[in-house]
A and B are shown apart, each in its own frame.
Chain A
Amino acid sequence: MALASRTDRKPSLPRTFWRSTVGKKTVMAVSGLIMIAYLVAHVMGNLKVFFGPGEFNAYGHWLRTMGEPVLHYEWGLWITRVVLLTAVIAHGVSAYQLSRRDIRARPTAYVHKRRHASYATRTMRWGGVIVALFIVWHILDLTTLTVNPNAQAGHPYENVVATFSTWYGNVIYIVAMLAVGLHIRHGFWSAAQTLGVGNASRDRALKALANGLALVLTAGFVSVPVAVMTGVVS
C-alpha cells in the first residue's frame, strides 16, 4: 500500500521559525521593519534640532514622560528600549547565523572570480557590522554620555552640537548613516520579499519605496551634523 510519507509531528511555531532559513529571514524582516519604524520616529525627533535648544531639549524630556500617566516615568522609554534591543539582537543573531550558514554552503570558492557577484550580500553584511558598531558608540556618546565631549545630562541639544563639533564625530556619524541608507535600500525590499509581499507587478513600486525611504532617512540624519558644521545649528 502507498504509505503516508509526511511526518505528522511538527515542532512548535517558534522552533519552526528559528530552525528554518526562511523563518530566520522572517525574523530579520520583522525586526528590521521595527527598526526602520523606529528610525522614522528618530529622524523626526532629530530634525527638531533646527527649532533651537528649547524645543529639542523639551522633546528629549518628553521621551521620558511619554505614556504618562498610564505609564510610570521613563517606562515608555524603557519599553521602547527593550523592544529595540530585542529587535537588534534578533536581527544580529539571525544575520550572524545565516551568514555562517551561507559561507558553509559554499566551502570551495570559484577559481574564476566574477566582479559583480554578491554585491548586495556583501554590503549587507559589512554594512550591518558598521551600523552595529556605530550603535555602541552612539549610545556611549549621546545616551550614557560616556564619550561625549560635553556630557551634560538633560541637555541633549548641547551634547549633539558638541559631538558634531569634532571631526571624528562627524566622520563616524556620516559614514554610519550612509551605511544605514544602503542597508535599508536592500533590506526593506528584501524584507518585502521575505514576507511574501513582493511580486512581479509590485516590484518597481517596492524598489522605489525602498530607495525613497533610504534617501529620506539618510538625508534627514546627515542634515544635523552638516548643519552643525556649517553653523546653522550651534
Chain B
Amino acid sequence: MKLTLRVWRQKNADAPGAMATYEVDGISEDMSFLEMLDTLNEELILRGEDPVAFDHDCREGICGACSLVINGDAHGPERTTSCQLHMRSFEDGDTIDVEPWRAAAFPVVRDLVVDRSAFDRIIQAGGYISAPTGSAPEAHATPVPKADADFAFEHAECIGCGACVAACPNGSAMLFTSAKVNHLNVLPQGAPERETRVLDMVRVMDEEGFGGCTLTGECATACPKGIPLPSIAAMNKEWLRANRKAPRRG
C-alpha cells in the first residue's frame, strides 16, 4: 500500500504546530497503524529529520497510552485503540490525517503526544477506596451481588486513554469520571466514601478545564472499551444524591 499522511507536527507545548505531508510506501495491510508510523519514522531518521513523536506502550490495547485522532475520529475508524487498528482498514492511495487529542485540559507535549495528567488528578481527588494495606477484612466477609460486580467491572474496564475527551465536541471528561465513580460507588467496599468521591471527582474534573456534557454520545461511540453512555446519567444521579446526603460544614 502507498499512502499519503498528513500529520500534526509541533516541536513543543509553546511552539506553533501545523500539518505536514509525508508519503509512505510498502505498507502491509497486516501492519498496525503504529507500525505504519514506525516505518515512516525509520525513514525520517535516516533522512536526518525528526521522527513523529506519539505515545504508545503495550500495543495490545490495554495500557491506554496511544492516542491518535485519525481522519477526525479518536483512535480511527474502528472501535478500538490506535495500536489495534490495522492498515487493512484503509485503502491503497488513501490520504490519512493524524492529529493529537485536542482539549484545553490535554496540552500538546510534542507532535501527537499530549499531557493527560488531568486524568490522574481526577483519580487522586477520590477515585479510590481507602483501604490501607493490611487493614482488609477476609475477602468473603462481604459478598457482592453478581449484577453489581458485573456493573463495577464494566466501568472498571476504562483504560484512561482520553478518547472520550478527544471525541467530545466540548472536550468533556464526564465519561472517564463517571466510569470510575460508578465502578467504586456500586461496590459495598466503596460505600463509605460514596458521596465525597463523586463530589470531589466532579469538582476536580471541572477545575481541570474540561467542558460540560451535552450528551451528544460521541464519547461512548469513541470509547475503545465500550463504557456506555448511561454511565454519565448514573454519575449525575450519584452527584445529586451526594448533594442531598453529604454532611456540610463551615
The answer to whether A and B touch in the complex, with CB atoms under 8 Å apart, is: yes
User: In chain B, what residue has the closest Cβ to A203?
Assistant: B230
State whether the Cβ of A220 lies closer than 8 Å to any Cβ in chain B: no
Q: Is there an interface contact between B216 and A120, defined as CB atoms closer than 8 Å?
A: yes
In angstroms, how far is the closest chain B Cβ from the Cβ of A114?
4
State whether the Cβ of B69 lies closer than 8 Å to any Cβ in chain A: yes
State whether the Cβ of B248 lies closer than 8 Å to any Cβ in chain A: yes
Given A102-B169, A120-B216, A19-B206 contact (CB < 8 Å): yes
In angstroms, how far is the closest chain A Cβ from the Cβ of B107?
10
State whether the Cβ of B87 lies closer than 8 Å to any Cβ in chain A: no
State which of B212, B237, B238 has its C-beta within 8 Å of the C-beta of A101.
B212
State which of B69, B72, B103, B130 has its C-beta within 8 Å of the C-beta of A105.
B103
User: In chain B, what residue has the closest Cβ to A97?
Assistant: B212
Interface size on A, residues (CB 8 A): 53
State whether the Cβ of A21 lies closer than 8 Å to any Cβ in chain B: yes
Q: Could you give, for residues 14-27 of chain A, a 1 whenever the CB lies within 8 Å of some chain B CB and a 0 otherwise? A: 00110111111110
Within 8 A of A (CB), among B97-117: 97, 99, 102-105
Q: Is there an interface contact between B236 and A106, defined as CB atoms closer than 8 Å?
A: no
State whether the Cβ of B2 lies closer than 8 Å to any Cβ in chain A: no
Q: Is there an interface contact between B170 and A196, defined as CB atoms closer than 8 Å?
A: no
**In the assembled complex, which residues on chain B have CB atoms less than 8 Å from the CB atom of A113?**
72
Given A2-B132, A13-B248, A105-B172, A200-B102 contact (CB < 8 Å): no
User: In chain A, what residue has the closest Cβ to B205?
Assistant: A21
Query: How many angstroms between the C-alpha atoms of A36 and B245 in the bound complex?
Result: 29
In angstroms, how far is the closest chain B Cβ from the Cβ of A118?
3
Q: Is there an interface contact between B228 and A196, defined as CB atoms closer than 8 Å?
A: no
State whether the Cβ of B234 lies closer than 8 Å to any Cβ in chain A: yes
**In the assembled complex, which residues on chain B have CB atoms less than 8 Å from the CB atom of A198?**
230, 233
Q: Could you give, for residues 1-19 of chain B, a 1 whenever the CB lies within 8 Å of some chain A CB and a 0 otherwise? A: 0000010100000000001
Query: How many angstroms between the C-alpha atoms of A112 and B76 in the bound complex?
Result: 12
**In the assembled complex, which residues on chain A have CB atoms less than 8 Å from the CB atom of B121?**
none
State which of B132, B210, B236 has its C-beta within 8 Å of the C-beta of A194.
B236
Q: Is there an interface contact between A109 and B234, defined as CB atoms closer than 8 Å?
A: no
Q: Could you give, for residues 79-96 of chain B, a 1 whenever the CB lies within 8 Å of some chain A CB and a 0 otherwise? A: 000000000000000000
The segment out of A3-11, A58-66, A172-180 that lies at the interface is: A3-11
In angstroms, how far is the closest chain B Cβ from the Cβ of A100?
10
In angstroms, how far is the closest chain A Cβ from the Cβ of B161?
17
In angstroms, how far is the closest chain A Cβ from the Cβ of B232?
6
Q: Is there an interface contact between A106 and B97, defined as CB atoms closer than 8 Å?
A: no
- Give the interface size class of chain B: 35 or more
State whether the Cβ of B211 lies closer than 8 Å to any Cβ in chain A: yes
State which of B211, B237, B248 has its C-beta within 8 Å of the C-beta of A196.
B237
User: In chain B, what residue has the closest Cβ to A109?
Assistant: B102
State whether the Cβ of A190 lies closer than 8 Å to any Cβ in chain B: yes
Q: Is there an interface contact between A197 and B233, defined as CB atoms closer than 8 Å?
A: yes
State whether the Cβ of B47 lies closer than 8 Å to any Cβ in chain A: no
State which of A17, A26, A110 has its C-beta within 8 Å of the C-beta of B99.
A110
State whether the Cβ of A107 lies closer than 8 Å to any Cβ in chain B: yes
Q: Is there an interface contact between B243 and A102, defined as CB atoms closer than 8 Å?
A: no
Query: How many angstroms between the C-alpha atoms of A102 and B199 in the bound complex?
Result: 20
Q: Is there an interface contact between A20 and B104, defined as CB atoms closer than 8 Å?
A: no
Query: How many angstroms between the C-alpha atoms of A106 and B210 in the bound complex?
Result: 8
Q: Is there an interface contact between A111 and B236, defined as CB atoms closer than 8 Å?
A: no
Q: Is there an interface contact between B218 and A117, defined as CB atoms closer than 8 Å?
A: yes
User: In chain A, what residue has the closest Cβ to B238?
Assistant: A196
State which of A119, A124, A200 has its C-beta within 8 Å of the C-beta of B228.
A200
Q: Could you give, for residues 123-164 of chain B, a 1 whenever the CB lies within 8 Å of some chain A CB and a 0 otherwise? A: 010100010100000000000000000000000000000000
In angstroms, how far is the closest chain B Cβ from the Cβ of A129?
15
Q: B residues bordering A, Cβ < 8 Å?
A: 6, 8, 19, 69, 71-73, 97, 99, 102-105, 124, 126, 130, 132, 167, 169-172, 196, 199-200, 202-203, 205-206, 209-216, 218, 228, 230, 232-241, 243, 246, 248-250
* Further 8 A-B residue pairs, CB within 8 A, beyond A22-B239, A105-B172, A114-B73: A9-B250, A21-B172, A106-B104, A106-B170, A111-B19, A121-B214, A196-B235, A196-B237
Interface pairs (9), CB distance under 8 Å: A20-B206, A26-B236, A101-B170, A102-B172, A105-B104, A106-B103, A111-B6, A112-B72, A120-B214
